[in-house]
Structure 1
Amino acid sequence: MNKPLRHVWLVIGLLFVLLFTSTTYFQVIAQGRLNADGRNARTIYNEFGRNRGPIVVDGTPIAWSEKSDDTYGYLRTYEPGSMYAHVTGYYSVVYGFGGLERSLNDTLSGEADSLFYQRVVDTLSGRDMQGATVELTLDSQAQQAAYDALGDRRGAVVALDPETGEILAMVSTPSFDPNRLSSHSTKDVRASWSELNEDPERPLTNRAIGGDLYPPGSTFKLLVAASALDSGSYTKDSVIPGPGTYPLPNSSSVMNNHAGGDQTPCGPDDQSTLQSALEQSCNTSFAMLGVELGEDQLSGTLDDYGFGDRMSIPQTVTASRIGTDLDDAQLASTSIGQYETRVTPLQMAMVAGSFAHDGVVMEPGLVKSVRTQDQRVISEFTPKERSQPLTAANAAQMRTMMVGTVEEGTGSAARIDGVEVGGKTGTAETGRGTKPHSWFVGYAQSGDRKVAVAVVVEEGGYGSKVAAPIAKDVMEAVIDR
């Protein structure tokens, strides 16, 4: 072979090497990045061409896919959309996923490793592939009660089964209609997205598990009381100070005993039992108790309850928290649910649930089961203990104090005839010159039925007047069957 031919074959060989290398790079190495690129229309059409599995509550689909007569293949539909919007999330050709549509995308689309066998069966049988059915733990009646009771107010409700951790209701308001974001009209979707994001009421925020979080106000006194019992130095009958005012240590600020500047002492000689202080929601009692316990003791209790931990239900839950390196004045304010204390309603429902379950905190979850279209079960909810911050005996003392708060104290609006109801109201100052947030945290049990609940209404005012009646409606929806 002469020299010019050798040069030609060398160039051709080099070109083949470059072609093989580039093909390997784009089809193997860069595949994931290119598929995930939002500009890749082929990926979008492939994604929306799948028959996505339904999301089900009490045997009824609340999200499902229907054949569409356009290039996308399937249209995602939600009904009743807004009541479950912060649970299901949205599935958009423009803005991707939210809620469970995001966190369970592989399962709903059928791409999860656990569905490999089903994909093979569908392919060999020539049947159209469908993603898995996701059945939720939600109770449709409790969800409806929470949604109706919140109405047009900003806030959230979480209800769960204290013995299993199954989430029975999770509502955040204001809500939105996910059907507006699942439309195949990109023009309409963009307009809806802009409207939702520009709304000062923040309807896309799931206030039950995220967002800016809330100061818990006096509902935090439940945790201070629990920490006191756990220390071994107190019982519900222990006598603690409760003066009408409390000058905060090393500060010019003075704490009043009750909201609105009320300086009435908690009891004779400026003293009361721990139970009476909780029933009356005495600020000075719990501020002084928190300082007496110390930051290490209180923080240890909160750690046991999961403060500072990120959870997945499988949606990601923002961690609740308190301030750190607190001086006594800051610790006093923290102990009545103010200063830098911030919580999610889910976290506070877990707190209430522990008292109804002998001091045990259960791992919360939204997914009851995952099944193939042949109804083969892929996974099921399994109750799992997360921690036990209190002994059963101390949890019983907490229940006694909480029942007293509902029967004799500030939580009377949550009372249900013939049902054991325990709880704590809260009126949380925001420091923004607005009305305080309204809270109720508690539980109800009758026979073998139990429910723990947390309610927050932004700028709702007194928890005894606004949040407690909402909690009652939700607890009745679970208990009265």
Structure 2
Amino acid sequence: MNAPIRRLATVVAALFAALLISTTMIQFVFAKSINARPDNRRTLLSTFGVQRGQILADGKAVAESVPSDDEYKWQRKYTQAELYAHVTGYYSFLYGAGGGLEGSENDLLSGSSDKLFYQRISDLLTGKKPRGASLTTTIDAAAQRAAEEGLGNQRGAAIAIDPRTGAILAMVSHPSYDPNVLASHDIDATVKAWRTLTTDKSQPMVNRTIAGNLYPPGSTFKLVTAAAALSSGKFTPSSVLPGQAVLDLPGTTVGLPNDGHVPCSPTGKVTLTEALRVSCNPAFGQLGMDLGQDAVRAQAAKFGVGDELAVPMRVTPSVFPTGLNEAQLAQSSIGQFDVRMTPLQVAMISAAIANRGVVMKPYLVKSAIVDSELSVVDRAQPERLSEAVTPEVANELKSMMIGVVQGGTGTAAQIPGVEVAGKTGTAETAAGANPDAWFTGFAPANGTPKVAVAVIVEDGGNAGSEAAGGRVAGPIARDIMKAVLGE
């Protein structure tokens, strides 16, 4: 064999080897990831040929598959679409599953989960058409509606959880969107809707309760600083703190002012209880510096700050900054500087205090069932995450928070006949911007707590520059708690 023919044979052999290797890689190594691609038309057509499971809230379907007379066979339908958009997410032929339970629990809803293996075998042997599992959420429909109506046309978020279990009772993010436009089988309309939603500066598809650009928690963070102080053994609710109009900060000529640049009390001094009741910035700024950043950060971590959580949608971890100087620590101790939190995290702080100091893992799905058999294939079990504070410290914090609502900055959250514990927050975000308004709390505070809430209204909402946490977010939180309690 002459040299040219030998070289050609070598090239042909190499090409055949490359073809064999690439085919093997595609069929055996990359097959799973290729099938999972949201833009894989063949996979999508096959999954659209299976009846997807329902998503239920208070026993009613808020997402379900209905028969379609086109090649897709089934079309996803969302009832009360904008109210539950960030709970359900979307299921689209073009853009796959995402944004909520549709994405995070896609395996169960589509019927491909390993948890449904025996059900698939049974369906195959009996000739039944395969179908996905339905998800029963922990949402309280009345609380969800109260959160929606309370936020109204304002940007922000509201979330409620059961302090005893971590079950999420309400999850509302504003602005919202209609997932039906993404589930449409009209391809051109779906593309147009996607472009509109993903380029909207208000980011309607972002679930602000657990993700997106995290918020400065403002004075709601004073609960963490107070918890660190009481847990240190160096402070009690009656400990005296500075309450002047402006606290001088080391290394800077810029002080830490109280709201309105007025003293927290006529004497310029306040107890820890009074400081929380009137939300005294100088007192908590000094308290943070006295405790030190390690103590404040450690306390925040015990409440869950920094934890990687999934509910089952992924929760963006909240942040307490590192490497702080004294002035930055003082600002961080009142929830400013670079402290950033999700509304869920803020609700978890209140829930832990309500639950005698124990933080429960939040969750949104109560159970997964196979509709045809009504058999439970997955059931949530309440899970303890940590002990943030001792029961004794939790009780002290609860009493202080009751004072906030009874006669402090949170009186707008009062519920007749029900004792409410709470904390307000008014967080500065950017120079010239209106502050964000916060409220967090729980009820009933004089019995077994059934609901803990966190509400944020961005940029002061309809109150604009006159916004304050108690006045703007407090009534929304009150109505959510009333809905859960049946008041």
TM-score, normalised by the number of residues in structure 1: 0.94
Task: Find out whether 1:61 has 2:61 as its counterpart.
Answer: yes
Query: Residues 7-46 of structure 1: matches in 2 within 5 Å?
Result: 24-46=24-46
What is the identity, as a one-letter code, of the residue corresponding to 1:76?
R
What is the identity, as a one-letter code, of the residue corresponding to 2:428?
E
Q: Distance in 2 between matches of 1:164 and 1:119?
A: 32
Secondary structure of the structure 1 residue equivalent to 2:193? helix
Secondary structure of the structure 1 residue equivalent to 2:148? helix
Residue of structure 2 in register with 1:341 after alignment: 339
TM-superposed CA distance for 1:449, in Å, is 5.3
Residue of structure 1 in register with 2:298 after alignment: 300
Residue of structure 1 in register with 2:158 after alignment: 157
Residue of structure 1 in register with 2:470 after alignment: 464
Secondary structure of the structure 1 residue equivalent to 2:469? coil
TM-superposed CA distance for 1:94, in Å, is 1.1
Secondary structure of the structure 2 residue equivalent to 1:269? coil
Q: Distance in 2 between matches of 1:350 and 1:137?
A: 16
Task: Find out whether 1:220 has 2:221 as its counterpart.
Answer: yes
Identity over the aligned pairs, expressed in percent? 48
What is the identity, as a one-letter code, of the residue corresponding to 1:314?
P
Residue of structure 2 in register with 1:355 after alignment: 353
Secondary structure of the structure 1 residue equivalent to 2:471? coil
Residue of structure 1 in register with 2:265 after alignment: 267
TM-superposed CA distance for 1:384, in Å, is 1.0
Task: Find out whether 1:365 has 2:363 as its counterpart.
Answer: yes
Residue of structure 2 in register with 1:5 after alignment: none
Task: Find out whether 1:406 has 2:405 as its counterpart.
Answer: yes
Secondary structure of the structure 2 residue equivalent to 1:464? helix
TM-superposed CA distance for 1:24, in Å, is 4.0
Q: Distance in 1 between matches of 2:387 and 2:363?
A: 18
Q: Distance in 2 between matches of 1:380 and 1:33?
A: 28
Q: Distance in 2 between matches of 1:100 and 1:137?
A: 12
Residue of structure 2 in register with 1:281 after alignment: 279
TM-superposed CA distance for 1:176, in Å, is 0.2
Q: Kindly tell me: are residues 203 and 116 of structure 1, through their superposed partners in 2, closer, same or farther at Cα, counting changes over 3 Å?
A: same
Q: Kindly tell me: are residues 212 and 246 of structure 1, through their superposed partners in 2, closer, same or farther at Cα, counting changes over 3 Å?
A: same
Q: Distance in 1 between matches of 2:217 and 2:327?
A: 18
Task: Encode CA deviations 1:155-201: one digit per residue, 9 max, x unaligned.
Answer: 00010000000000010000000000111111101111111122221
TM-superposed CA distance for 1:15, in Å, is 11
Residue of structure 1 in register with 2:327 after alignment: 329
Contact map agreement 2:38 2:97 (CA 8 A) in 1: no
Contact map agreement 2:241 2:271 (CA 8 A) in 1: yes
User: Which has the higher mean CA deviation after the structures are superposed, 404-413 or 23-32?
Assistant: 23-32
Contact map agreement 1:449 1:479 (CA 8 A) in 2: no
Secondary structure of the structure 2 residue equivalent to 1:459? helix
TM-superposed CA distance for 1:38, in Å, is 4.9
Residue of structure 2 in register with 1:473 after alignment: 479
TM-superposed CA distance for 1:249, in Å, is 1.0
Q: Distance in 1 between matches of 2:245 and 2:309?
A: 40
Secondary structure of the structure 2 residue equivalent to 1:138? coil
TM-superposed CA distance for 1:263, in Å, is 2.3
Q: Kindly tell me: are residues 323 and 22 of structure 1, through their superposed partners in 2, closer, same or farther at Cα, counting changes over 3 Å?
A: closer
What is the identity, as a one-letter code, of the residue corresponding to 2:413?
A
Residue of structure 1 in register with 2:243 after alignment: 242
Q: Kindly tell me: are residues 372 and 249 of structure 1, through their superposed partners in 2, closer, same or farther at Cα, counting changes over 3 Å?
A: same
Q: Kindly tell me: are residues 74 and 250 of structure 1, through their superposed partners in 2, closer, same or farther at Cα, counting changes over 3 Å?
A: same
Residue of structure 1 in register with 2:3 after alignment: none
Secondary structure of the structure 1 residue equivalent to 2:430? coil
Query: Residues 439-458 of structure 1: matches in 2 within 5 Å?
Result: 439-445=438-444, 447-448=447-448, 450-458=450-458
Q: Kindly tell me: are residues 306 and 125 of structure 1, through their superposed partners in 2, closer, same or farther at Cα, counting changes over 3 Å?
A: same
Residue of structure 2 in register with 1:394 after alignment: 393
Secondary structure of the structure 1 residue equivalent to 2:119? helix
What is the identity, as a one-letter code, of the residue corresponding to 1:297?
A
Query: Residues 58-207 of structure 1: matches in 2 within 5 Å?
Result: 58-98=58-98, 99-207=100-208
Task: Encode CA deviations 1:245-287: one digit per residue, 9 max, x unaligned.
Answer: 11211101022122xx3222x2353211100011111110000
Contact map agreement 1:429 1:437 (CA 8 A) in 2: yes
Q: Distance in 2 between matches of 1:337 and 1:449?
A: 25
Q: Kindly tell me: are residues 72 and 237 of structure 1, through their superposed partners in 2, closer, same or farther at Cα, counting changes over 3 Å?
A: same
TM-superposed CA distance for 1:18, in Å, is 8.7
Contact map agreement 2:115 2:377 (CA 8 A) in 1: yes
What is the identity, as a one-letter code, of the residue corresponding to 1:381?
A
Q: Kindly tell me: are residues 38 and 108 of structure 1, through their superposed partners in 2, closer, same or farther at Cα, counting changes over 3 Å?
A: closer
Q: Kindly tell me: are residues 124 and 236 of structure 1, through their superposed partners in 2, closer, same or farther at Cα, counting changes over 3 Å?
A: same
Q: Distance in 2 between matches of 1:14 and 1:339?
A: 61
Secondary structure of the structure 2 residue equivalent to 1:465? helix
TM-score, normalised by the number of residues in structure 2: 0.93
Task: Encode CA deviations 1:409-445: one digit per residue, 9 max, x unaligned.
Answer: 0000000011110101111001241110000011111
Q: Kindly tell me: are residues 14 and 192 of structure 1, through their superposed partners in 2, closer, same or farther at Cα, counting changes over 3 Å?
A: closer
Q: Distance in 2 between matches of 1:34 and 1:462?
A: 51
Q: Distance in 1 between matches of 2:102 and 2:89?
A: 6
Secondary structure of the structure 2 residue equivalent to 1:169? strand
Structure 1 vs Structure 2 CA RMSD:
1.9
Secondary structure of the structure 1 residue equivalent to 2:283? helix
Residue of structure 2 in register with 1:430 after alignment: 429
Q: Distance in 2 between matches of 1:251 and 1:192?
A: 50
Q: Distance in 2 between matches of 1:447 and 1:339?
A: 36
What is the identity, as a one-letter code, of the residue corresponding to 1:412?
T
Residue of structure 2 in register with 1:4 after alignment: none
Q: Distance in 2 between matches of 1:420 and 1:224?
A: 24
Contact map agreement 2:164 2:449 (CA 8 A) in 1: no
Residue of structure 2 in register with 1:47 after alignment: 47
Q: Distance in 2 between matches of 1:15 and 1:322?
A: 56
TM-superposed CA distance for 1:29, in Å, is 2.5
Contact map agreement 2:355 2:449 (CA 8 A) in 1: no
Residue of structure 1 in register with 2:7 after alignment: none
Contact map agreement 2:354 2:449 (CA 8 A) in 1: no
TM-superposed CA distance for 1:97, in Å, is 1.6
Secondary structure of the structure 2 residue equivalent to 1:267? coil
Consecutive unaligned residues in structure 2, runs of 5 or more:
1-12, 461-466
Contact map agreement 2:453 2:481 (CA 8 A) in 1: yes
